[in-house]
Structure 1
Amino acid sequence: MRISFIWRTPAIALLLSAGVGLSGCASFSPDSGMTVVSDVASQTIGKDVAFVRSADGAERTGGAVRRLLGRPLTVDTAVQVALLSNKGLQAAYNELALAEADLVEQSLPPNPVFAISRISGNGSYEIERQVVGDILALATLPFRSEIARERFRQAQLRAALETLRLAAEVRRTYFRTVAANEMVGLLTDAKSTAESTAQLAKKLGETGSLNKLDQAREQVFYAETTAELGSARQEATSARERLARLMGLWGSDLDFRLPNRLPALPRHPQSLPSIEVDAVGHRIDLQVARMELAALEKSLGLVQATRFVTLLDLAGISKRIREGDGPPIRERGFDIEFQIPIFDGGEVRVRQAVERYNQAFNLLTEKAINVRSEARDAYRVYRSTWDIASHYQREILPLRQIITEEMQLRFSSMQIDVFALLTEARQRLASLRAAINAKRQFWLAQSDLQTAVNGGGSGAARETPTTTAAAAPAAGGGH
């Protein structure tokens, strides 16, 4: 339905004054919303972040990365390098900047549309000028601006979540890489011993002092150790490459140095009696889901408020008419156009918004339950891996050392032969390998425990439905 009036009141001034009165105050921040990300990274993992947007910024972060790479990398320095140099993380920060641009856009009133037409014939003409503004968009501007602000806060937490995810992945990859290096060192020594044993067995066999079966046993041990060393070196190289990718390194920066051994176990494991409460209170992805639910609630209210009027335009009209040789006649007024909800009274959009809200509520509840379970399980794994690794360090390896020393004494006094000594060396090698794996599992479990409390795991960023579809009718585009 269109209702037209020829009125002497200037409608253009009415539209402009309404837009100025309802316009939001959002503007671009100096750091593109990075304050929240920086605070989360500093308080949660004790690291700095940087959003590189200029050549000077790139030079500063590059200098910081080079200084960190100038010494052997610890797990903390590896994480810091990744947070400064990883380009995928920079792309996540670009998403945050785009979210801020959307916030500013949604806080501005809609631009008026100017139209002009001229009709002439038989010595007369008619000129019509219109300025059209979306009244519904103006009326809902504060509501839409607040929803956009909530989305921007969510974008800030998502950028922080991506920061924690990268940090957690770097920690896991670092421990895998160093453990692989330690295994390579152990197997290198074992191969050297096995090679000497195989050569000795061959010489003894040539003299008839060693039968063919025992010769084959020593030679196959050397062959198997050589194959295992090759596999360990390949694993260490691949792990190092993955760590380099996560840290965003290439070229000469690939010469970074890593320790040859995993860090020693802590003397005592952490005691976390309130692990579930800590996880529910600190998980960034849970905070994002809560904010998403709040934004959907506001969108639901907006949809209900605009369910009957989906399109409302106000047009200021100015006409200039001339007939024949008479003077032109000027006429002004305005034109209002809106839809009559005869067939669709907005029930469909309201039902969709309600179901999206209910869906988000159920997903948030599920996420909270899962977060509690993940935290409990992560702590149990952490404690059990500490117990196992500590058992190797305090019980098994010292006993193996005693056995080795006693076997060497008996060999020196000729109570046993060299092959009994070598058999014990193989058993000690198996214990050392198991101890390395146990220590590796502990450090990985510690990283997973930190992730379970703070967020950032591979499965932690499950998204709830966005508010885009529910809030879209507020702009006056739905029917």
Structure 2
Amino acid sequence: MTSTFRSGRGGLACIALCLLAACSTLPRNGGRDQLDALLAGRTPPLQSGSSGSTDLRAALSGPLDPEAAVALAWRESPRIRLLLAELGLASADLFESGRLRNLTLSAGRMGGSDGTTTLGIGLLLGDLVTLPARSRIGRQRWQAALAQTAQALVDEAAATRTDWIRHVAAVQVAELREAVAEAAALSAELAARFHAAGNISALQLAREQAAASLARTEAARARSERFATRMALAERLGLAGRSNAWRTPARLPLPPLADPDLDTVLSQAGQQRHDLAAANALLAADQSAASLARSLAWLGGIEFGFEREREDGERRSGPHLSLQLPLFQQGQAQRTRATALRDMARERVALLQLQLQREVRSGLERLATQRAIIATFRDALIPQREAIVAREQERYNFMLIGVFELIQARQQEYDAYQAYIEAIRDYWLHRVELARVAGGVLPGDDTPSGEAPALDDLLGPPGDHDPHHHH
């Protein structure tokens, strides 16, 4: 009986060296520690799993500001856990890139009285030769996956802050619209009494009733928007269907005293945009892969081994080599594919850099425009509307106009208040988007210049918004 033993890479000693070289490990803690290092100062630390009911109640005990909302989402939101789970796919690829493929064991027996049994074990030579390059490419792709996940987390933090801003603004607008609807209802009631007494026409009564109906619909629309924004924020926080025992502050913050300059934001974006870092890491990986394909694509079909044979007590041994003949393919497809991927990666980096320039410049322009709009409302339109109401009140006191003209002036003042609140909201929405473009935060994000006015600040002491109240 004859037995043959064939070992890839030239014997057991060579196999041992190869196995020692294949020493990649899975990333510690699923890559969370590396993500925390990438995002330090821009997002909360990542945690595993939801908090317990006691921890959740403690987190919801006070009003949620934007940063507390982001921290809560990091603990409770399935979106965050999904992003981290997807990173596990990349960690598996990293592990695989630094490991040799498993040995192939084969066995066979030839029939007959003097049958021969063969045993074989082998690996492709290309695995050994390309292992260092494949490990390097795997690490580059892992860095790209980390950066892509970090960018997704930055985007999610921005989306959470955006939902928070929309909800707080909707709460303020709904409160204002309720006051307007109440005033319009009182006006319509007064008009009905005046009409019954013969003091106003049916046309004027119809106008006041129509105005009250419109105010009711606007108040209902504002309540619906408040509910929709609350549900959107609850879903973003991971609380939808779990808890309604949370609240936000009653007012938006006012804008910071100044906005960052162009050079600061461009520099920060260039250093902190994780999608750009991911694109550069993928470019490096694809460049390495293209170089590897040019030089070693033909190695894939070579197997080198060692044979040992025993027959009738006699042992024979010697090297073994098998080679795919490159008659029909010489690695052209691999080289072409790798080159195309490298070129795509290079242009993707260039496109992201162009987009970054546009987004930063456009974002700063929107921020400056919105700041100017807020200043116009604060310094011009609202004082002008308040002055109009004051003068109309004087004219009403001297019976130069009727009560309905005064009410109309007051409602136009309310509309200016609502537009002011919405202008502050839009400023913060633009600022959150610009912060996202710049990598997560902007200088001055943590130093607002105060709070937007509350309803009592806008409408004055209780009773001042009553259309029948005389100043």
Give CA deviations for 1:358-384 in whole Å, capped at 9, x if unaligned. 222122112101111110000000111
Structure 2: gaps (5+ residues): 442-471
2-structure distance, mates of 1:158, 1:6: 47
Is 2:151 the partner of 1:161? yes
Name 2:70's counterpart in structure 1.
79
Aligned with residue 442 of structure 1, among 417, 427, 430 = 427
Alignment of 1:344-355 (within 5 A): 344-355=329-340
DSSP 3-state at the match of 1:313: strand
Name 1:475's counterpart in structure 2.
none
Give CA deviations for 1:195-241 in whole Å, capped at 9, x if unaligned. 01111111111221110111111001011111111111111111111
Aligned with residue 365 of structure 2, among 372, 380, 383 = 380
Is 2:109 the partner of 1:118? yes
Is 2:89 the partner of 1:91? no
CA contact (8 A) 2:173 2:222 kept: yes
1-structure distance, mates of 2:167, 2:389: 29
Aligned with residue 44 of structure 2, among 42, 48, 73 = 48
Is 2:305 the partner of 1:309? no
Alignment of 1:9-20 (within 5 A): 11-20=10-19
Taking a change above 3 Å as real, the CA distance of residues 234 and 355 of structure 1, as seen in their structure-2 partners, is: same
Identity %: 24
Alignment of 1:145-294 (within 5 A): 145-294=135-284
Taking a change above 3 Å as real, the CA distance of residues 405 and 270 of structure 1, as seen in their structure-2 partners, is: farther
Per the TM alignment, residue 90 of structure 1 is displaced from its structure 2 partner at its CA by 1.1
Aligned with residue 67 of structure 1, among 34, 41, 58 = 58
Is 2:129 the partner of 1:133? no
Taking a change above 3 Å as real, the CA distance of residues 223 and 249 of structure 1, as seen in their structure-2 partners, is: same
2-structure distance, mates of 1:278, 1:309: 44
2-structure distance, mates of 1:118, 1:425: 101
Give CA deviations for 1:10-36 in whole Å, capped at 9, x if unaligned. 954144234135323x32343222223
Taking a change above 3 Å as real, the CA distance of residues 362 and 438 of structure 1, as seen in their structure-2 partners, is: same
1-structure distance, mates of 2:215, 2:175: 12
2-structure distance, mates of 1:398, 1:65: 44
Give CA deviations for 1:82-130 in whole Å, capped at 9, x if unaligned. 1222112112112223322322222122221222212232x22111111
2-structure distance, mates of 1:179, 1:416: 35
1-structure distance, mates of 2:330, 2:280: 31
Name 2:460's counterpart in structure 1.
none
Cα RMSD between the aligned structures? Answer: 2.5
CA contact (8 A) 1:378 1:445 kept: yes
Give CA deviations for 1:292-336 in whole Å, capped at 9, x if unaligned. 111111001111121333212234444455xxxxx4655544532
2-structure distance, mates of 1:443, 1:201: 41
Taking a change above 3 Å as real, the CA distance of residues 450 and 375 of structure 1, as seen in their structure-2 partners, is: same
Give CA deviations for 1:372-423 in whole Å, capped at 9, x if unaligned. 1110000000111011012212222122223323333433343432112111
CA contact (8 A) 1:320 1:329 kept: yes
Per the TM alignment, residue 73 of structure 1 is displaced from its structure 2 partner at its CA by 1.3
Aligned residues: 438
Alignment of 1:349-428 (within 5 A): 349-428=334-413
Per the TM alignment, residue 264 of structure 1 is displaced from its structure 2 partner at its CA by 2.3
What stretches of structure 1 move > 6 A for 4+ residues in a row? 5-10
DSSP 3-state at the match of 1:118: strand
DSSP 3-state at the match of 1:244: helix
CA contact (8 A) 2:191 2:208 kept: yes
**1:410 aligned partner, one-letter code:** R
Taking a change above 3 Å as real, the CA distance of residues 68 and 40 of structure 1, as seen in their structure-2 partners, is: farther
1-structure distance, mates of 2:285, 2:379: 54
Name 2:91's counterpart in structure 1.
100
1-structure distance, mates of 2:334, 2:403: 84
2-structure distance, mates of 1:402, 1:271: 36
2-structure distance, mates of 1:365, 1:6: 54
**2:18 aligned partner, one-letter code:** G
**1:418 aligned partner, one-letter code:** V
TM-score, length of structure 2 as denominator length: 0.86
CA contact (8 A) 1:96 1:156 kept: yes
Is 2:26 the partner of 1:28? yes
CA contact (8 A) 2:5 2:118 kept: no
Taking a change above 3 Å as real, the CA distance of residues 10 and 291 of structure 1, as seen in their structure-2 partners, is: closer
Aligned with residue 342 of structure 1, among 320, 324, 327 = 327
DSSP 3-state at the match of 1:124: coil
Deviates more, 1:305-314 or 1:356-365: 305-314
1-structure distance, mates of 2:436, 2:346: 24
Give CA deviations for 1:121-160 in whole Å, capped at 9, x if unaligned. 2x22111111112221011111111111111111111121
CA contact (8 A) 1:6 1:331 kept: no
**1:452 aligned partner, one-letter code:** V
CA contact (8 A) 1:269 1:386 kept: no
DSSP 3-state at the match of 2:119: strand
TM-score, length of structure 1 as denominator length: 0.85
**2:38 aligned partner, one-letter code:** V
Deviates more, 1:410-419 or 1:340-349: 410-419
Deviates more, 1:416-425 or 1:393-402: 393-402
Per the TM alignment, residue 455 of structure 1 is displaced from its structure 2 partner at its CA by 6.4
